[in-house]
């Protein structure tokens, strides 16, 4: 195994934000503490957004302060504006994940801000974090297509990436908000925008999640399925898949419904099922 990949778990933020029911604070903390022991590189704990906009994450401070931070794991939070940044800094997060949209309509629907307005906010936020040592990441929603506007011109993506880097953003996440991307497009955009040096992947336990303000958002890449796939491809992630699967096994009870992840149901690729009964009988 040569290349190391880094898996960033988003279930307790992106996953829980869209659930019909509020996941109790203690249950969120317990899940994050378990995930912290599974070899994930980063956990997006919660978001410091308006509790009116995202009521499921209204307990952000309690969750962020209640978790046991494990060495080697980075704890990040989503922040949409300066107020969210102040709340995040007060909780001593490792990273602030700024969120903006590449398209005007989704930006306005989700954040009440066009991309241009988000960039203005980001400048203020970066100024407010100066000296804190906090890492600044920016997530660019609708990079691969917008559920309202359709294709976002690729030159617009490259321009926004460039401008984010210019204002001092240190990491960039390209988001496929509603699953409109195709592999050729992903390869092209990643190569152009970031020279394709990509080794970090956001994924969500059980495949939970989606943006509540993006019609059609119906989940995320499933963390355990992604880790399983990388393992099969001989790519190291540092993640203990069995531990992760134990966390996933408890998810349906936690959220009150089945989750889409496949490996939990089908088993890992080395699982073997007994053949049909008639074969066994015929062999006797
Ligand atoms: N944390 C807590 N409260 C916040 C806040 C934050 N980061 N930002 C704004 N608010 C509160 C304000 O205090 C105000 O409260 P009040 O009505 O009690 O006075 C209210 O929210 C409206 O404030 P305003 O500045 O007018 O914000 P807005 O209505 O334009 O909302 C966002 C903008 C970005 C704060 C809001 O749309 C939001 O949080 N969206 C969530 C985006 C998200 O996480 N989407 C999913 C992830 S992709």
Atom of ligand 1 minimally distant from the CA of 47: 44
Atom of ligand 1 minimally distant from the CA of 175: 48
The series of mean pLDDT values per 10 residues for the chain, 284 residues long, is 84 96 97 97 98 97 98 96 96 97 97 97 96 96 96 96 95 93 92 77 94 87 95 92 96 94 93 89 81
pLDDT at position 170 is 94
Ligand 1 centroid to Cα of residue 112, in Å, is 9
pLDDT at position 279 is 87
76 φ, ψ (degrees, to nearest 5): -120, 160
The SS3 assignment for 122 reads: helix
pLDDT at position 1 is 47
pLDDT at position 231 is 92
- Cα–Cα dist 270/76, whole Å: 34
Tell me the torsion sign for CA atoms 250, 200, 15, 151: negative
Atom of ligand 1 minimally distant from the CA of 57: 44
Do residues 67 and 29 touch, judged by C-beta distance below 8 A?
Answer: yes
Instruction: Give the HSE-up count for residue 194: Cα atoms under 13 Å, Cβ half-sphere.
Output: 19
Ligand 1 is surrounded, with C-beta below 6 A, by 17, 47-50, 52-54, 78, 80-81, 83-84, 87, 99, 110-112, 141, 211, 213
Residues with catalytic roles: 211
pLDDT at position 199 is 87
263 contacts: CB under 8 Å, gap ≥ 6: 222, 224, 225, 228, 245
Read off the pLDDT of residues 218-255 as tens digits, 9 standing for 90 and up: 889 999 999 999 999 898 999 999 999 999 999 999 99
- Mutation test of ligand 1: which of 17, 19, 47, 50 has the most ligand atoms closer than 8 Å to its C-beta? 50
């Amino acid at each position: 195994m040569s290349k190391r990949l880094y898996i960033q778990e988003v279930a307790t933020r992106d996953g829980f934000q869209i659930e019909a029911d509020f996941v109790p604070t203690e249950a969120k903390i317990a899940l994050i503490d378990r995930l912290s022991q599974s070899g994930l590189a980063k956990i997006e704990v919660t978001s410091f957004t308006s509790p009116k906009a995202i009521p499921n994450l209204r307990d952000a401070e309690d969750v962020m302060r209640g978790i046991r931070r494990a060495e080697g794991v980075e704890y990040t939070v989503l922040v949409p504006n300066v107020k969210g940044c102040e709340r995040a800094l007060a909780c001593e997060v490792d990273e602030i994940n700024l969120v903006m949209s590449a398209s005007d309509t989704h930006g306005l629907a989700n954040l009440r801000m066009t991309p241009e307005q988000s960039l203005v906010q980001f400048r203020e936020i970066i100024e407010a974090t100066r000296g804190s040592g906090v890492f600044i990441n920016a997530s660019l929603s609708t990079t691969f297509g917008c559920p309202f506007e359709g294709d976002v011109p690729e030159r617009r993506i490259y321009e926004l990436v460039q401008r984010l880097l210019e204002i001092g953003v240190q990491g960039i996440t390209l988001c496929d908000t509603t699953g409109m991307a195709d592999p050729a497009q992903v390869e092209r955009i990643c190569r152009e925008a970031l020279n394709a040096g990509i080794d970090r992947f956001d994924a969500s336990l059980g495949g939970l999640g989606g943006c509540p303000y993006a019609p059609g958002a119906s989940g995320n890449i499933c963390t355990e399925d992604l880790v399983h796939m990388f393992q099969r491809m001989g790519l190291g992630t540092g993640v203990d898949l069995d531990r992760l699967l134990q966390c996933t096994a408890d998810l349906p009870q936690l959220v009150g419904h089945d989750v889409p992840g496949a490996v939990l149901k089908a088993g890992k690729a080395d699982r073997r099922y007994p053949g049909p009964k008639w074969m066994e009988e015929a062999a006797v």
